């Protein structure tokens, strides 16, 4: 199962957000979450959304305003594993700094199962 989180970064804080991800967030994920919390896979990625489109029409590929700045992809066995992350001491460490740079009202979370073989 993949957890996709989409959100906006606070205005003017993208560089601070990226610094947080590289210097703090990834360290906590690697040391306290992956391999420590059952059901959490080794895949955790964050993507900077660099464009948005209104359709698949090549002329409109980059015409839409970006509704989000970041997409996170977290792979877990099931929703219970994701809940364990959110309830963990590691999440308590990550939360305060993350909330300083992320627009909390913009957060959208999607839970998805892959149905096509890789």
Question: How sure is the predictor about 102, in pLDDT bands with cuts at 50, 70 and 90?
Answer: very high
Mean predicted lDDT score pLDDT of the chain? 89
According to DSSP, residue 21 is labeled I
Amino acid 44: pLDDT: 78
pLDDT tens profile 77-90: 889 988 998 899 98
Classify the C-alpha dihedral 67-13-20-101 as positive or negative. Answer: negative
Tell me: the pLDDT tens digits for 29-57?
A: 888 888 888 888 767 788 999 888 878 88
Q: How far is CA 65 from the centre of its chain?
A: 20
The confidence score (pLDDT) of residue 17 equals 94
- Domains in the chain: ranges and CATH: 2-54+63-112 (3.30.70.100)
50 token code pair: 């660099």
Helix (H, G, I), strand (E, B) or coil at 87: coil
Instruction: Kindly tell me if the per-residue pLDDT of 58 is higher than 80.
Output: no
**110 DSSP 8-state letter:** E
Among the listed residues 72, 27, 68, the one whose alpha carbon sits nearest the alpha carbon of residue 45: 72
Q: Compute the distance between CA of residue 35 and CA of residue 109 in angstroms, rounded to an integer.
A: 23
């Amino acid at each position: 199962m993949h957890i996709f989180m989409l959100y906006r970064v606070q205005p003017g804080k993208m560089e601070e957000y990226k610094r947080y991800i590289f210097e703090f967030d990834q360290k906590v994920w690697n040391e306290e979450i992956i391999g420590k919390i059952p059901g959490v896979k080794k895949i955790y990625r964050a993507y900077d959304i660099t464009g948005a489109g209104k359709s698949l029409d090549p002329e409109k590929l980059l015409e839409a305003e970006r509704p989000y700045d970041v997409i996170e992809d977290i792979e877990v066995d099931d929703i219970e594993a994701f809940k364990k992350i959110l309830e963990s001491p590691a999440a308590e460490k990550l939360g305060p700094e993350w909330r300083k740079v992320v627009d909390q009202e913009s957060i959208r979370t999607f839970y998805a199962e892959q149905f096509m073989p890789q």
